């Protein structure tokens, strides 16, 4: 029989209060608190904490406080990653971010969902995760929310305050709630 962690990682419905998962969230909260306490005055020490927390960090990353996540080990970022102030990454499922990606302030990634059955949803008892993937050269404007299961292709720009509820391919500029394509991105490498 699969453990609750295995269920979580496999995208199945899992019991959120499982002791192993509670302990892992506790470890992540300690690292997040240490990172946020360092503030901006100690960028090298802060990135050392992020490298302990995340599943992978490429070269040249920068994360500003206050940062929040559930587990940390489900976050994978490529080279030259930048996250501005107050980003939240609920990483029940993997969050994979390509190279040269920028996140504005207050950007939120939600990989977790809850059952429609209200009895299973009470007190946050059960969850289910759907991963989020960003290609290379993606810029997510401030205050945007990326919902569970979304994939954004390369060279996508997300307008500030957008709610991205579905996936989009390469080279587009999207905005709104729900986000939609407003035009092709003419700037490509």
Catalytic residue among 42, 56, 106, 114: 114
Are the C-beta atoms of 14 and 8 separated by less than 8 Å? yes
User: Residue 123's Cα: distance from chain center in Å?
Assistant: 23
Longest dimension (CA), the chain: 51
Instruction: Tokens for 69, please give them.
Output: 């996540």
Q: What is the 8-class DSSP label of residue 168?
A: B
Q: Check if 114 is active-site.
A: yes
3-state secondary structure of 23: helix
Cα separations in angstroms, 87 against 63, 134, 141, 167, 170:
9, 15, 11, 21, 24
Across the strands, what pairs with 129? 112
Q: Which residues form the catalytic set?
A: 114
């Amino acid at each position: 029989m699969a453990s609750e962690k295995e269920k979580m990682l496999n995208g199945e419905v899992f019991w959120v209060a499982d002791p192993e998962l509670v302990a892992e969230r506790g470890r992540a909260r300690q690292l997040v608190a240490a990172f946020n306490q360092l503030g901006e005055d100690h960028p090298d020490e802060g990135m050392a904490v992020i490298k302990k927390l995340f599943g992978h960090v490429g070269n040249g990353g920068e994360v500003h406080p206050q940062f929040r996540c559930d587990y940390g080990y489900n976050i994978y970022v490529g080279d030259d990653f930048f996250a501005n102030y107050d980003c939240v990454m609920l990483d029940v499922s993997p969050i994979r971010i390509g190279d040269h990606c920028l996140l504005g302030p207050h950007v939120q990634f939600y990989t977790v969902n809850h059952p429609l059955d209200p009895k299973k949803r009470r007190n946050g008892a059960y969850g289910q995760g759907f991963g989020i993937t960003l290609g290379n050269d993606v810029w997510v404007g401030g205050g945007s929310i990326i919902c569970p299961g979304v994939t954004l292709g390369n060279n996508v720009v997300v307008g500030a305050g957008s709610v991205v509820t579905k996936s989009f391919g390469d080279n587009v500029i999207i905005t709104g709630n729900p986000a939609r394509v407003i035009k092709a991105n003419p700037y490509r490498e």
